[in-house]
Amino acid sequence: MAKITLSKLTKRFGEYEAVKGIDLTIADGEFAVLVGPSGCGKSTTLRMIAGLEEITSGEITIGDTVVNDLAPKHRDIAMVFQEYALYPHMTVRKNLAFGLKMRGYKKGEQAPLVQEAANMLGISELLERKPRELSGGQRQRVALGRAIVRKPKAFLFDEPLSNLDAKLRVQMRAELSRLHRRLATTMIYVTHDQVEAMTMGTKIVIMKDGLIQQVGSPMEVYRRPLNQFVAGFIGSPAMNFFKAMLVQRAEGVYVEAASFRVPVPERLCGPYQCVLGREVIFGIRPEDIHSFELLQQQQSAILPECRADSMICGEVEVIEPLGPEMLVLVKCGDQTTVVRLDPRLDLEVGQDINLQLDMEKMHLFDAAHPHARIEAP
Ligand SMILES: Nc1ncnc2c1ncn2[C@@H]1O[C@H](COP(=O)(O)OP(=O)(O)OP(=O)(O)O)[C@@H](O)[C@H]1O
Ligand SMILES: [Mg+2]
């Protein structure tokens, strides 16, 4: 088990800087997820930690040791890739034992470790089979087993579930979380899927263009994204954004966008004073927009703080029923807004709909570079 620290870590491929000086500390036993769009430098970062990629500058520490010049096999970490290659001619048992054998474990020492890993992953029935006799999920488990069998200081995963079908992925996600709880070993998991990041990570590291954008717990980054990129990346469907202006009127402060005007809750007026009269990006998540009619029908107490004038009108463009909820695309002015609504609501494409924004959950970002969050407590 070990803490992992990256400081001012960079990686250049010729002229191209793939990782641009990142600082990150992953505590002992933590499940950290590196998440970000394709090409942002996740795999490169992970490969540098594993020692598979030379670093250009900076420092990597595992436990108390600076590992910059340490060969991969001396770093005592295990890595599982998307393209895991099991040895096709070996049984599952031999595949699991192979790494131990290479590290000089005797036969008698190998057997109990293999059995323990197989039990933990529920593959002890499969030990005498060859990889081609296994399903995709079973093979994935063997690949994981090969990593956990030798109890390394840390695990590194690079999109290990992306070859599995959706159902199996959900199942393996839960198994990995369970495995992490049992082993309590430091894990770093790379994915471009924000749902995977949110559900598995105890710490999420959002990357873009070789830089870290934000580090925090899943709920921290969801509730308080530090810039517009993180706000749009974490949460599904993504947050809605509108170009807007914050305006002081006699009745209070308003967010004014091209097609609507809604009041800022009094609590937030103070913190937002600094951007009065300036162009901002107003953000609101699909789950923080409600159907006004439904709220009224239910005489709902969901939005006690909402003022009657925090309503916007639009036309229903698309309805996507998902069972427990429906996603509705509503055209407001020249912009489409995504709303997550109760499926009991009787809606038809083309009809008008009144939406109530939960302005307590509003986000504001700087309209100019670097689209930073405008802080409110
Ligand atoms: N060996 C290499 N030579 C040159 N450029 C490279 C090399 N490896 C990676 N890159 C570049 O570095 C950048 C980061 O690549 P990396 O593989 O770390 O991205 P990633 O975040 O893992 O993306 P993905 O989600 O697609 O796997 C990319 O622009 C990529 O083209
Ligand atoms: Mg990658």
Residue spans of the domains in the chain: they are 4-233, 240-366
Please write the tens of the pLDDT for every residue from 105-117. Answer: 999 999 999 999 8
Q: What is the mean pLDDT of the chain?
A: 91
Lowest mean pLDDT among 61-65, 149-153, 243-247, 302-306: 302-306
d(CA 331, CA 311): 14
- For the CA of 159, the closest atom of ligand 1 is 27
| Residue 288: band (very low, low, confident or very high) from pLDDT cuts 50, 70, 90 | very high
Distance of CA 53 to the CA centre of its chain: 24
**What CATH number belongs to 240-366?**
2.40.50.140
Give percent of the chain with pLDDT exceeding 90.
69
What average pLDDT does the segment 247-259 reach?
92
pLDDT tops 70 at residue 122: yes
Q: Please state, in angstroms and as integers, the Cα–Cα distance from residue 342 to each residue in 123, 141, 258, 293, 313, following that order.
A: 41, 38, 27, 11, 18
Quick one: pLDDT at residue 204?
Answer: 97
Quick one: pLDDT at residue 162?
Answer: 81
Environment class of 322 (CB within 10 Å of its CB; exposed 0-12, middle 13-18, buried 19+): exposed
pLDDT tops 70 at residue 213: yes
Q: Give ion ligand 2 contacts, CB < 5 A.
A: 43
Beta bridge partners of 249: 252
d(CA 76, CA 233): 33
Quick one: pLDDT at residue 300?
Answer: 61
pLDDT tops 90 at residue 175: no
Please write the tens of the pLDDT for every residue from 314-368. Answer: 999 999 999 999 999 999 988 999 999 999 888 999 999 999 999 999 999 999 8
Q: Tell which residue, 70, 46, 62, 59, has the closest CA to residue 2.
A: 62
Distance of CA 173 to the CA centre of its chain: 13
pLDDT tops 90 at residue 303: no
Which range is most confident: 132-141, 211-220, 297-306?
A: 211-220
Report if pTM > 0.95: no
**Atom 17 of ligand 1 has which residue's CA nearest to it?**
43
Residue with the bigger pLDDT between 163 and 50: it is 50
What average pLDDT does the segment 192-205 reach?
93
Please write the tens of the pLDDT for every residue from 145-169. Answer: 998 898 899 999 999 888 778 888 8
- 315 CA to centre of ligand 2 in angstroms: 40
> Which ligand places an atom closest to the C-alpha of 35?
1
Quick one: pLDDT at residue 88?
Answer: 93
Residue with the bigger pLDDT between 144 and 5: it is 5
pLDDT tops 60 at residue 304: no
What average pLDDT does the segment 195-215 reach?
95
d(CA 187, CA 200): 11
Quick one: pLDDT at residue 301?
Answer: 52
pLDDT tops 70 at residue 377: no
Quick one: pLDDT at residue 370?
Answer: 80
What average pLDDT does the segment 19-38 reach?
97
- 152 CA to centre of ligand 1 in angstroms: 26
Residues with CB under 6 A from ligand 1: 13, 16, 18, 36, 38-44, 192
Q: Does domain 4-233 have CATH number 3.40.50.720?
A: no
Output the DSSP codes for 243-279: EEEEEEETTEEEEEESS-EEEPPHHHHHHHGGGBTSE
| Residue 137: band (very low, low, confident or very high) from pLDDT cuts 50, 70, 90 | confident
| Residue 66: band (very low, low, confident or very high) from pLDDT cuts 50, 70, 90 | very high
What average pLDDT does the segment 171-190 reach?
90
Quick one: pLDDT at residue 336?
Answer: 95
**Atom 11 of ligand 1 has which residue's CA nearest to it?**
18
d(CA 202, CA 376): 24
> Which ligand places an atom closest to the C-alpha of 193?
1
